[in-house]
Structure 1
Amino acid sequence: SRYHGSEENLAERLVEAVAQQTGHECAVGTADGLLAAVVAARTGALVPPGGSAGFLASRPMTELGFAATTEDSGRQVDELVDLLHRLGLRRLGQLAALPAADVHARFGRLGTWAHVLARGEDERPPVRRRPEADLEVATALDPPVDRVDTATFAGRRLAEELHTLLVERSLTCGRLEIAARTDEGTDLVRAWRTDLGGWGGLSPSRITDRIRWQLESWLSATAVATARSRALDDRVRLRDARRAATGRPGDGPTGRTDEDVQWAFDARAAHESDDTPPVTLVRLSVTALDVAPAGAEQGRLWGGPSGGDLRAHRAMDRVQAILGGSGLLAASVQGGRDVREQVHVRPWGEQGAAPLPLDRPWPGRLPPPAPATVLPEPEPVQVQDAAGVEVLLDGREGLAGEPAWVRWSQGRRSRVSGWAGPWVLTGRWWSGQSPRAHLQVAFDGEPAALLVATTAGWACEARYD
């Protein structure tokens, strides 16, 4: 609640998140103790600090069952409530008014538990701590290095130094940030998630593995080439903005002059040529992020990891140690317009935002549901109208005809029972992309298909099972 500013703000965020993810409404309440919080959530109440006892005093004794977490404990609580009713105690406030020693002597451990909850307290109060500062170890690479083995040797020393700091201070961390600086002044930063098993993910050898995997990626010049390409795109947008501000129209349909177009192509070709200089690192650092006392890992809001989850994470880490950083990949959904662009694949454990944000508008994006099977390679097809004439994407980016048949590469034909679209995607002028359009097609007696139309013809990209 402190992070979001107040308990009211946190409640609003929770209600909004549940509604967006599930389509259902929920009630959120706040109070000091476990039982008071559960009852408050069922009624949507915000109990002020210190007011839990008064809030529960008039509630019926049967609401003790809301705090039971298993079927067995629920039966025991029901038996206790029945006994309290026969003794004339029907409100939680009546139970809270009894002396704690007498309740324990008469009702035992379960009675003490109910007495504590009825007073608006917790058996185990929450432990508050100050956030620990991030731990960083760094070294200057002098002379600069451009080989993986040399840089990994320096990374091994950093891994041992960071692990020693964590052990001496009895700390653990949730993420490792690996950063390097090139001789051109480019900063390369990547974060890796540690496993959920605590100390097992923070040994010097496993930290070194992550440093080595990242160095292999960086020293291949891929990361620097990507940074240069992004800088080039920024320069293109800056030039367009300046031209728009000065009101100087271009020669082409996009408002750019022929010199602008040639300049963009020449600059990009220079950066993508085989003459790209090798990457040379002058600084390397490793930072422990999300630092917390060892053994005090905060459980997730929607449920903590099980023992099976921990064993699975450790098994995948061992496989990755054998195959290398890119040998084990995890897929996630990102932004984009077509089915292939919306899948983001990255090495297991690598932390970072997807390159295409999911919350952007993405005009022309396919509506849900997504197809169940995406073909490894698009299958060429022909889309024909009722007269057998091929339906193509015309110059105005629409369909020239009514789809009635789809002829597959094997020679068979499927009758179209219904179709939706097209969803037109216009290409980027500077990358040579041509317009394309997606079409959802349903057939008689077989799964629906997702077809894509380009200037070269039609192809089947995916199937709806």
Structure 2
Amino acid sequence: MSGGSGPRLLVVWCPDWPVVAAGTAAGTPPTAPAAVFSANRVVACSAVARRSGVRREMRRRDAQSRCPELVVHQHDPDRDARLFEPVAAVVEREAVGVEVVRPGIVAVPVAGAAGYFGGEDALAELLLDEVAARTGVECQIGIADGLFAAVLAARRSIVVEPGGAAGFLAPLSITELDQPGEDRGELVGVLQRLGLRTLGAFARLAERDVASRFPQDAILAHRLARGLSQRPALRRRMPPELTVTEIFETPLERVDEAAFVAKTLGERFVTGLARHGVACTRLSIAAMTEAGEQRVRVWRCAEPLTARAAADRVRWQCEGWLTARDSPSAGIVRLHLEPDEVVGGQALQLQLGAMGRDADAAERARRAVVRIQGVLGPDSVFRPLLDGGRGPADRVRLIPWDEPRVATAVEAPWPGGLPAPSPATVPQRPVPAVVGDGDGRVVGCTQRGDLSAPPATVAIGNDSLRAVLGWAGPWLHNPTLPASREHRAVARLQLVLDAAQDDDDGERAMLLAVTVGPEPQWTVEGVYD
């Protein structure tokens, strides 16, 4: 099942939209160098800032050192979506079937509109003029077969001939796969290290080889590089219970009310889909006001919607409708969510058995997590994230299951951090211990990181003494903090202990921590296998 190249689409792209939206909200001059930051890294930057050397993923300190006059904005997806609604509305005035891909990008099927306005070039010129005249926003337009190729064509302001998507994509850099919101940076890095520098080089790999040697998301990326559609849609009639409708006795007129409703509707919508073993990739949101006005918007998604992602799109759309210049004359009394396009649970497994039984289990687990989120809420399921830090407990952070995996600099130097390997077992609560020297006195640690004596014995909890066979450290953490009991500096020590007399476990390697100062307190922070 290879699939086709996808429908012919016209894409309207507003360059650097997060920066444009942030500048509009803050009232900063459009000619000022500006960047939007999330977790202290550049999400988007203006053309003026790029000319000074600012780039995506750059740290804030580095960006400001290259461009001292840089205007700093914080990332706000709600703001981006709310301010993009007028642009989508202008496009919708001229063409039907408008789909918002993400704030800053809107796609339109070409077939009907191009015939009505006298061709693809005429349609593109009309939309360029209308968006600029009615919103004052600069945009670029591209036309190609399939959404991925059309987005890249819009970035270059070109029209790709029908059937020419693969040829257009072939010479482009492999980094084009890592579009904002796609989270393909790790995959792109692997492909580059393998010597695959262009989309064409990646596309020439056999699909079976990609399925067997790369992670599952590489299959979708491989289809995009070949100019094919993202995934085959599920070609069957959807049962009516997959739609979600909510009627409000009190009309929705405020943004905070819409945000509360969006979370509930998103969870109900995704839970209903999960019960039927499908997921939504194109969501239609329809609203009716107390005055009988109707608004409809379609959101296209690169990946199947989770409960949080569905709720975000409902919230963004409601905020856009309620705050736009041509907002409805009355509050919203009815919201209707309908899946315009769904995919099956195995839609990403493009060859039967290509990914083996592990992919089946992973997909079933994903759908189970979606069901749990639908019942208990989006913050009910967490996954571990390897993070930067000094101690073993600092290096693992729990984040909601569908949150983006944004970690601090894991490999960056951490003064006082532990050398590899990390302990295999970290107790949920530190276990008290006593470390003694050869004369039986408790070993302490000074503010300079010097032990009062070499450790000779260790007693953990109520266990008997064990002899110390070897040790390494100490590593000081926060040595400049005040030496109060709440903020005392900590030193960590790795020790290898001899077997206990009443235990046949053998030697044990452990990580211990001690508070710095005149009254040392030792605890066990980890055990090595």
TM-score (norm 1): 0.44
* Between structures 1 and 2, the one with greater helix share: 1
Work out which of the two has the higher radius of gyration on C-alpha atoms and give 1 or 2: 1
TM-score of the two chains, using structure 2 as the length reference = 0.39
